[in-house]
Structure 1
Amino acid sequence: MLRQAISRLEQADALDGASDKIQAAVTTVVRPRRLRDLLHGTWLGHPLHPVLVQVPVGAFMSAAVLDLLPERLVPGTQKAATALIAAGTAGVAPAAIAGWVDWSDLTKDRRRVGLVHAVTNAIAVGLYAGSLVARLRGRQQQGKVLAFAGLSVAGAGAYLGGHLSYAQGAGISHAATEVSRLPEEWTEVSSLASLPEGKPAVRRAGEVPVLLYRQGDRVTALIERCSHEAGPLGEGDVVGSGSDACVVCPWHGSTFRLADGLVVHGPAANDQPVLPVRVREGSVEVRRP
């Protein structure tokens, strides 16, 4: 029944009206490219949101453990739990902001799940905020009840977040799965002479499209499908030149350095996989790393 409910949620186009308006608002508010790159985690090499989430999650879980300990047997647990809930509540804002920016670049089906994920977490934070107020007013029992209610709701939100990432592929590298499909042995993909100088070219290693970039006798090879949403990098524009040349994904604008696959601009947060390359007797060969 739970899986059926999630499936219906993915198809709930009634959420699209609100989703589209929120997406437009997030895009308008968080417009500077450097800020979006910061919040996507482009500089980190993987999404920032899951990292920031550890602060409130860790604080709330620790507070729950302390709330279960009798104060008469372990003095100081109530004050410590209150401090942890305050820290967790404060840590929600940066995690939520990064999450909304990631969410704004998702497809409609994933935005539907992400929207409910966000609303569920907002309810959980509201319960924790109420718990904090109750504790500060000396109503410890009420504070505990609200905190455990918040933890339960947050658990539901975490389930939706896990589904979003692991079942729907939000935030994962869509290029990484292509690596496992490459031949393990060295495989010829092109002649060196047929590759244009300083421009990317698409060739195939088995069934996997590979993006080759030649500088003199040196050739680098990247998975051609963008790590963000598997867009065709071979159809993207090239900016810069030489070792600083980058390819821009035509779908969402993620930018990768051709020399080493480094992600320069998001929404991608993962580098583009680089493949081993060798040139033998005028032939360019690649293999699985």
Structure 2
Amino acid sequence: MRQNRALWLLDRLERTPRADSVIETLRAGVRALPLGRGRDALHGRWLGHPVHPLLVQVPIGSWLSAAALDLRPGRSREARLLVGLGLAAAAPAALAGAVDWAELHRQQMRVGLVHAMSNAAAVGLYAASLACRVRGRETAGRAYGFLGLTAVGLGGALGGHMAYRQASGANHAEEVPHVVSPGWHRVGGVEEFPAGTPVRRSVDDVPVLVVRESGGTIHALAERCSHLAGPLSEGTVADGCVRCPWHGSVFRLSDGWNVRGPATAPQPAFDTRIVDGHVEVRLRREDAGRPDADGRETAGAGAGAAQVRS
């Protein structure tokens, strides 16, 4: 069976480094924007997933509706209003997309650059469409509008490729609760976890980050960052949090909560305990905090502290 031509072109685009210098310049510019806490808002940390796909619904829906009205006579005023609405809504959608794009892998950024160029072309065509409509050149306005809609469709296809084939914006820790078996798992002796040092262990082939604080409290989280699977065990630990070394997402050690983006999803957290000098971890589930089979209560949600048993 022959390979899909479009997928072949996209795979080739992912591997082509020709635009990498441009990408690096644009990336530095986006990262340098003085957005403050607004950066996390644009990432969608408050929403629990990227906000860019939500914002693009307004311009796409407006322009698609305008195209439908352009096929009917006597609806030029309404179509003009929808074209203008789409242009106004494109700016925040583009800003959110740029902020996300600047924190992706290089292969994703290569596709994302063409995605942005296609959408920029769509904005230019719709701006020309609106200008023609305002001047009474309805035929030209409709023509520019349909060209703009074509560019939007191409941009949407590239965005879908990034989301579903390249997994940009997806939660890269979502599978952890589905593959870690229930119950306690021994991950090493207490002496193997120096205070304040992130240590990587494995449970059912799932990487787990274990951190022992100076006071003796032990925390455990899924080790692969929910943003793009960065190795948290290579990150830095400070103020009860761990910072991903790849894109700077910060997670609270006690419960895995993402206190700073670009990660929009928290890290799966594990309960911990010490048995005969060994650290054991258990994936934190809804029944956390209930007594063990032997009647002892384990560390519950939001605690993450190891309990000593003998």
When the two structures are superposed, what TM-score results if normalisation uses the length of structure 1? 0.84
Partner of 1:188: 185
Asked whether the 8 Å contact 1:202–1:210 carries over to 2, the reply is yes
Relative contact order higher in (CA < 8 Å, ≥ 6 apart): 1
Residue 290 (structure 2) pairs with residue 286 (structure 1): no
Residue by residue over 1:63-95, the C-alpha shift from the partner in whole angstroms, topping out at 9 and shown as x without a partner, is: 222223343xxxxx3222211110110111111
The alignment of Structure 1 onto Structure 2 pairs a total of residues equal to 277
The verdict on how the C-alpha distance between 1:217 and 1:100 changes in structure 2, with shifts beyond 3 A counting, is same
Partner of 1:273: 268
> How far, CA to CA, are the matches of 1:237 and 1:189 in structure 2?
24
* Offset of residue 247 of structure 1: 0.8
Partner of 1:22: 26
- The 3-state SS of whatever aligns with 1:180 is helix
Give the residue type in structure 2 aligned to 1:188: H
Partner of 1:87: 85
% identical equivalent positions: 45
Asked whether the 8 Å contact 2:198–2:236 carries over to 1, the reply is no
* Offset of residue 177 of structure 1: 3.3
Asked whether the 8 Å contact 2:201–2:208 carries over to 1, the reply is yes
The verdict on how the C-alpha distance between 1:285 and 1:143 changes in structure 2, with shifts beyond 3 A counting, is same
The verdict on how the C-alpha distance between 1:27 and 1:281 changes in structure 2, with shifts beyond 3 A counting, is closer
> How far, CA to CA, are the matches of 1:179 and 1:262 in structure 2?
16
Structure 2 residue corresponding to 1:146, chosen from 144, 147, 151: 144
Give the residue type in structure 2 aligned to 1:176: E
> How far, CA to CA, are the matches of 2:186 and 2:61 in structure 1?
48
Partner of 2:298: none
* Offset of residue 34 of structure 1: 2.1
Asked whether the 8 Å contact 2:200–2:210 carries over to 1, the reply is yes
> How far, CA to CA, are the matches of 1:227 and 1:14 in structure 2?
29
Q: Which runs of 5+ in 2 are unaligned?
A: 286-310
Structure 2 residue corresponding to 1:168, chosen from 159, 166, 172: 166
Asked whether the 8 Å contact 1:213–1:259 carries over to 2, the reply is no
The verdict on how the C-alpha distance between 1:192 and 1:65 changes in structure 2, with shifts beyond 3 A counting, is farther
Structure 1 residue corresponding to 2:16, chosen from 1, 5, 12: 12
Higher helix proportion: 1
Matches within 5 A, 1:127-276: 127-183=125-181, 185-190=182-187, 201-212=199-210, 221-240=220-239, 245-275=240-270
> How far, CA to CA, are the matches of 2:196 and 2:26 in structure 1?
41
> How far, CA to CA, are the matches of 1:152 and 1:273 in structure 2?
41
RMSD: 2.7
* Offset of residue 35 of structure 1: 3.3
Asked whether the 8 Å contact 2:126–2:145 carries over to 1, the reply is yes
Partner of 2:304: none
The verdict on how the C-alpha distance between 1:82 and 1:192 changes in structure 2, with shifts beyond 3 A counting, is farther
* Offset of residue 123 of structure 1: 0.7
The verdict on how the C-alpha distance between 1:5 and 1:199 changes in structure 2, with shifts beyond 3 A counting, is closer
Residue by residue over 1:202-229, the C-alpha shift from the partner in whole angstroms, topping out at 9 and shown as x without a partner, is: 4322111223467899866421111122
> How far, CA to CA, are the matches of 1:9 and 1:104 in structure 2?
18
Residue 66 (structure 2) pairs with residue 56 (structure 1): no
Asked whether the 8 Å contact 1:40–1:102 carries over to 2, the reply is yes
Asked whether the 8 Å contact 2:221–2:268 carries over to 1, the reply is yes
* Offset of residue 272 of structure 1: 1.7
The verdict on how the C-alpha distance between 1:111 and 1:41 changes in structure 2, with shifts beyond 3 A counting, is same
* Offset of residue 24 of structure 1: 2.0
Asked whether the 8 Å contact 1:189–1:204 carries over to 2, the reply is no
> How far, CA to CA, are the matches of 1:149 and 1:262 in structure 2?
44
When the two structures are superposed, what TM-score results if normalisation uses the length of structure 2? 0.79
> How far, CA to CA, are the matches of 2:216 and 2:110 in structure 1?
48
> How far, CA to CA, are the matches of 1:111 and 1:57 in structure 2?
22
The verdict on how the C-alpha distance between 1:62 and 1:260 changes in structure 2, with shifts beyond 3 A counting, is farther
Give the residue type in structure 1 aligned to 2:186: V
* Offset of residue 198 of structure 1: 7.7
